[in-house]
Structure 1
């Protein structure tokens, strides 16, 4: 009996010692330093990144249609002669080409007088025809004379208008060759070029895989190295249904409102076309999501213990990914030091 008691006591001592060693090992496990952030809901976008050159919505080069004495007009907004960078209004004469001989050959006053006479005669013949005083043939002859006189007068006005060169739309002078004032220049010479770039567009090439996702009317966020502090917005306006067999891309156009003229024609810009945006969701850096075969997980700190959380992901963009399940509001997410963690590792949170 005494022998059995001794054996039992020895066994118990071994078990107690073993447990004590286990507790000491756990207590002695080194704390891994980590940094954490508190999880809060935010937003994420799924975007297509592309780039391209911006072009003005309207651009036109104007040339001299006749020879004449070159006279650069005064800009009424500045009080100085028109120059590069000046804004112009539609129909505003920027250059005048004087040529008295040409002007006299048009004889516009004579054409106007002839028109008035023909109109009076046609009106008179109409009145007489209604009373039976003239034949229909006589009325038609008067109508033909009136019509011809009207065309002659209109053509004279068109010829006279060639002496004043203006833009048919509002814009900015972007090219202006120099000619000496009051010196005759030949017909066919470039006089100035005007661009209207408060409305612009970008031609872009888009990957084939997005051909079913993109729709006209989608918004695009635009940035440029030249205007780094500013973000402009555009709208997808046109999409080609044809895919290039060489590049596996299709063409698109983004229209941009540029009221402050911050974008300049020819600038190179980046464009993020927003396919989808989700609000009030959890978003983390892609680097934080670990993988074990097909299982994705993150580490959360519970007091001083790191817990491995299996997660499912949603929308991805350049650096971030949406977490659909596995995270909760106010969780303490490990963002530094997670590489060496295991489930239930002891950690020390450092800021």
Structure 2
């Protein structure tokens, strides 16, 4: 009996031992963290983060504010905002009745003065009156004619015609509004060529000059890139901002680039190739307890993230400059990085 109990107990112990060992063998692999990456590259790459760049805004090549030279009630503005008009198109007009009546009255006075002058001249030539009478009559006629001509110009000024072909960018007055000399009525924009205005720090402005090539990326057009040329470089800073401004001409034959669109610009930077700088999102840069800065890069072969120490420079509108620690071809993790540690498994998504 005791032998049977011993066999039974031994069987139970062995069973529990193997069962417990089986529980310890079961393991689960860590789920990879889903991340997004961008390729660090130089100026000739098609990726967004490249050699040092700037943020800017698109402006029309020419912006003309149109106004009346005389006052009156606006009769009509027969154009819509955003419409394309050709040179010579009627854009707006005010009621000309008052100026037309004034002209007709003064034209009649001028005609009367002309007849009086011609009669006086004829009498003078016969020697019947003094020369001073003829001179007075001639002067009165010339003054009346000048007044009539000036009033006729007021009639012409009751209409605004397009001085150049372009787009109606803004309408400030509508029919029924009261116009006055110099009060803006319309804004006419030319955008066959647009200008990207770029603020540039004072320590970098001397690196660029008129004629330098530029690559402009416009986010609103799905990050499409356009080639441009530096057309202007300011020689003094703005009053409210200690930066200089460069303006870049960009051909826009299909007029898809609109004024007001934001853009990223990479200027020709051959003079800085020996100290290549990259712009990365500020939020992708971390610092450890010792103050060492780092980012997370993706290892495509090992499918994991690794910590890369870096050194940063100036802060720009579109990110922070990384002066050391990155190179062309690095895969910078730009989304999902807050869940990472060194060697964390990752899955790259688009």
**TM-score (normalizing by structure 2):** 0.48
Q: Which has the higher contact order (CA 8 A, sep 6+)?
A: 1
The structure with the largest strand share of the pair is: 1
**TM-score (normalizing by structure 1):** 0.48
